[in-house]
Chain A
């Protein structure tokens, strides 16, 4: 087993993990997760978010245990457990995972822009610019990427206050009676919430870059708890704002709630909201790109800068060739299954396996 040594000046402070987790978890899904979970658990779906949130804490704890075991990232874990060959195969699987992950952000965001703001925005031009910016940030190394995560969390925070406008029209009796749905329905909703909640698995890859990683644990858990509470509150606001069947007809509930917000200087707030969402997506895309290019570097000795360009080129080509509308739905389903399989099934299994293998080896 070889553990990588990262020079101290490239490492990040433990508290920054808080921003990494939040900015990675909050992505494109927030704009419309309320309808998806309400399809399964109705007005009780906020309970599902809490269920999933507690499970995420457990998975996060396992991730830290795995990384602590080898004092390295998830690839080192595989190398330690199964040998070099398997770890290479797994690396490529993860590269693919992150490319698809990155694509899902760009494609969904382009769809939102096309429907809400500019119907004729060009897939190619938009993705090219967004990825050029991301490449530029990735060139700065992980510390720059984490800096973007920090700003991508702090700057859009004011958007939370805009939801207080909808409270005037909220009817909290929509949430009654509580616990009308059975546990299977709640778990189904939790399953469909998972795509919106993932992103924290980035910790598996940036672990070697954290200065005093054991101190970052606390911040990672606080980060996960913050997003869980945010999602729950936002879901409750949406459930009280829309009636049940109305929500079934509303694809982007968060954006539709913004249609109610009005300032003396802004007639329609959702345009500002969508434009601001660029800033929330930027850390997601940058960190995904960073992880994918870093894995490529470790697996093939290709320079990370060249890797980033290669991956972005692939992404731009796929985005340009993508057919509008219909494909995105099935693409999102695939991404959802993939993330659930990786984050919520594979990681716990790997953790159990590591316990056994460690016992056998010693």
Chain B
């Protein structure tokens, strides 16, 4: 009896019953880009970027562009131009032309959420130029998809870009009381590309680009720094660079009058470079005070501009909903532009390096 069971098992196992996918016989898309089709406004132009690994260890960028109505439909069509099936399991990046983002990203989210084969760590980004052009450039030996996603990756960890990826985008997308934002990428020429700021969204549609010089203050408000750099012009004409910035922020609601909210920002860092010559205690105190004021003013200005535009990328509405029972978001939203939001900063300079 047992012998027979074994034989029958072997028969079935050896025959194989699910579809096999051999990695050498697939085209793995690493990045996609969405552009509006100029011929018909309902159609999308989708670019898939595949990496082809050559024998000489170099990576060749191959793009396929198709147009269609649905996101998936463009993938089927793209397969007609590809020698082997294109799969989206290895996707690392999706670029949106700003014209697409201005129409709203709602129709795009569904495909990324429903398809279990797409990872949740991929990056979304917007761009002014056509995404097809961007994906067709030649930026580095590692291939364009990896290049751009690494660019975003290290700017999140060391730079001024707040944490972002598909998971966080989805979370904020569905969150009441927080508007989404995405990194914005600019193409300089065929070989170069740069992070040009952040595109802010209002009701799931992009409406404004926040320039990169405001990013430091924006990140202080929405995220926290663990490692970061920052340079500032002092009023006496000297310049100062600060490194290893740590920051955190906290919200404090006035219990008597809930329209008053204070955001407390704490920043710590080390001075790395100073163009003046004598950095004594008094000078450090003066510098600290100046930076303190600068951050406070810039952050307050940012918040005021958000209130004027009635957008909430910082998530103040979400903060209210965690502090107030039976929170009515719609009601709160009407009063948002009139909220009295104060910024309270505390800057600490931990050390000044090896020279005075």
Q: Which residues of A contact B (CB under 8 A)?
A: 115-116, 118-122, 125, 128-129, 132, 136, 169, 171, 173-174, 176-177, 180, 241-246, 248-250, 255-256, 259-260, 262, 267-268, 270
Contacts and interface: CB of A to CB of B under 8 A. Distances in A.
Contacts of B170: 246
B172 interface: yes
Interface residues of B, number: 30
A39 to B, nearest CB: 14
B123 interface: no
Contacts of B171: 171, 241-243, 246
Interface stretch (B199-207, B241-249, B320-328, B345-353): B320-328
Contacts of A255: 116
Contacts of A260: 120-121, 167
A228 to B, nearest CB: 26
A252 to B, nearest CB: 9
A309 B176 CA distance: 54
A244 B18 CA distance: 36
A73 to B, nearest CB: 29
A255 B90 CA distance: 18
Contacts, number: 71
B174 interface: yes
Interface string B277-317: 00000000000000000000000000000000000000000
Contacts of A250: 113
Contacts of B119: 259, 267-268
A316 to B, nearest CB: 13
B17 A268 contact: no
B89 interface: yes
29 contacts: A115-B116, A118-B18, A118-B19, A121-B18, A122-B17, A125-B12, A129-B9, A132-B8, A169-B167, A169-B168, A171-B171, A173-B322, A176-B322, A177-B325, A180-B325, A241-B171, A243-B171, A244-B176, A245-B176, A246-B171, A246-B173, A249-B174, A255-B116, A259-B119, A259-B120, A260-B120, A262-B121, A267-B119, A268-B119
B101 to A, nearest CB: 20
Interface of B: 5, 8-9, 12, 17-19, 89-90, 113, 116, 119-121, 167-168, 170-176, 318-319, 322-326
Contacts of B167: 169, 241, 259-260
A315 B5 CA distance: 18
B115 to A, nearest CB: 10
A129 B174 CA distance: 41
Nearest to A246: B174
A125 B17 contact: yes
B174 A136 contact: no
Given A249-B113, A260-B120, A270-B116, 4 more contacts: A116-B116, A176-B322, A180-B325, A260-B167
Contact of B175 (A120, A129, A243, A256): A243
Contact of A176 (B8, B17, B121, B323): B323
Contacts of B121: 259-260, 262
Contacts of A115: 116
A254 to B, nearest CB: 13
Contacts of A128: 12
B303 to A, nearest CB: 19
A109 to B, nearest CB: 15
Contact of A177 (B168, B176, B322): B322
A66 B187 CA distance: 75
A270 B89 CA distance: 12
A128 B12 CA distance: 10
Nearest to B90: A267
A256 B115 CA distance: 11
Contacts of A177: 322-325
A138 to B, nearest CB: 13
A250 B168 CA distance: 14
Contacts of B8: 132
Nearest to B170: A246
A259 B17 CA distance: 26
Q: Which 5 A-B pairs have the closest CB atoms?
A: A245-B174, A176-B322, A246-B174, A259-B120, A243-B175
Contacts of B319: 173
A118 B242 CA distance: 52
A54 B177 CA distance: 36
B11 to A, nearest CB: 11
Contacts of A118: 18-19
Nearest to A139: B2
A121 B9 CA distance: 17
